A and B are shown apart, each in its own frame.
Chain A
């Protein structure tokens, strides 16, 4: 199969699409990890508050 040489503007769209996929994957992954870390931080804050409160 011979490669088609595309005009620069059309090729640019494909290249931009491929790089956007890469960036989107990384951003989504980091966002999910950040959400998880925020939840953990909240849990740790709750534990810290519970430790400060006097036990009945």
Chain B
């Protein structure tokens, strides 16, 4: 009994910062937060959330983040599954070399390629647009996806493809109508890992985006903090707003998230 109580206390301690963030986002003013930092808010009002959206530009940051995350995840799954399918064939030319290359790519810190990317994105004419994030995010998340898909496709029985070939199914159709549906668990895993990574990414987003209209949520929050650093309830409303989607995804897709974390880690 005492042991359970200790566990519950520890869990409360872990949940506390998030509960505190959400509870404080409903408080009416700085005065209420600073005079009673750990009391419950007097009433539930969405005024701070309105403020965060209207004055803090949270609405446009949110939409930018949705586009960047959605398109990056779609591209990673699509290109990652293609490449994984190709590389899962034992006779692919220079297969070992490519696998080693993507393994190194997975380990490389973003700082390895960060500095020259600014100029590259300028030269490509995508500087200060959402593409300046979507392209690097896709490239950055591809190695894990490829290695995961290679492992997944290589473990599928060879008979699957042989039977399809005997039935005269062409490669593209085999891929889209047989292989992809089978690969659903791997796809879910990659979507989860990529979405969490890109939704929360800060360093590249800070360096590559100058135009306030193109900022994503994490960078937008920093801008909001610097501009409105006196309005804490609104800031905390904004922070809660960023966190809701990932916490919600975790709550709903608990199993996929956990599997994604394990697969991404063990790969």
Instruction: Decide if A and B are genuine partners.
Output: no
Task: Give the B-binding residues of A (Cβ under 8 A).
Answer: none
* A-binding residues in B (CB < 8 A): none
